[in-house]
Amino acid sequence: MAEPVRRRRSEARANRTRIIDAAIGAFAADPDASMDDVARAAGVVRRTVYAHFPSREALVEGIADEASAALVASFGADIPRPERPDLALAVLALLTWPVGDRFRMLLTFARKELGEQRMLDLMEPARAPTIALVEQGQRDGLFSSYLPAGLLVAMTEAVTMTLLDQANKGGIRDSGESFGVTSLVLLGVPPERAAAVVEEAWAWIRDTGGPSVPTAGPDRR
């Protein structure tokens, strides 16, 4: 009995993941895509979609929950974190950008459905650890103290939304370098220095066995 139950649960999880992935693509292509469109894209019958998400609103919330879970996972990536705050923030920026990049279609259609506060709440898993790093960097003299750490992080979140929106429009095509540099510049790091720190962060990720270094952007051999 246990094996059939495990199989059904595994199939259910696989279907849910397939539906989420299909919905991300469908909504990115057409914000007015229907549940039928999502079912066709997922290769399942409409009944299967409704079994997991009883309404379009529930599906949108499911995508938002998936984005939040992916952000938590990226912060818990099984690689060491640099002790230097500027390098640590650059590493986190590069690790979390793919999460935002995957789910940036939320900005094109779900902001009205989810609400501005819900969109900001998606960043909650990153907020406290980022504030702690900024506070450490301010104490160490790496970051400016012209504003409190919490306000600087709030500004970074607003910039993140802008960068993702620009990615939607094709204005940003890199692998998180713009995000990393902009985040550090907001903290008072000179642009040239910020770019160097981001390159150092790629080297850190590579050397510690993190996600594969992307082929886009500068040569990182």
**pLDDT confidence bin for 6, thresholds 50/70/90:** low
- CA dist list (Å): 106 to 60, 70, 101, 187: 8, 14, 10, 27
Say how far apart CA 61 and CA 115 lie, in whole Å. Answer: 11
- Number of helices (H) and strands (E), helices first, in the chain? 11, 0
- Residue 79 and residue 210 in contact, taking contact as beta carbons nearer than 8 Å: yes
Dihedrals φ, ψ of 126, to 5°? Answer: -90, -15
Tokens 């540099």 found at = 181
Q: What percent of the chain has pLDDT above 70?
A: 87
How far is Cα 49 from Cα 52, in angstroms, rounded to an integer? 6
Q: Residues, the chain, total? A: 221
What mean pLDDT value characterizes the chain? 85
Q: 59 is written with which tokens?
A: 């599906």
pLDDT above 90 covers what percent of the chain?
45
Q: What is the DSSP letter of 208?
A: T
Closest CA relative to residue 184, chosen from 161, 207, 155: 155
pLDDT at residue 40, as a whole number: 93
Tokens 């199989």, residue located: 7
| Burial class of residue 178 in the structure, from the number of CB atoms within 10 Å of its CB (0-12 exposed, 13-18 middle, 19+ buried) | buried
Residues 77 and 7: their CA atoms lie apart, in Å, by 28
The answer to which of 2-16, 55-69, 73-87, 149-163 has the lowest mean pLDDT is 2-16
Is the pLDDT confidence value at 216 over 50?
A: no
104-120 pLDDT, tens digit each: 877 766 667 777 777 77
Q: What is the pLDDT of residue 220?
A: 36
* Cα dihedral 191, 92, 22, 165 sign: negative
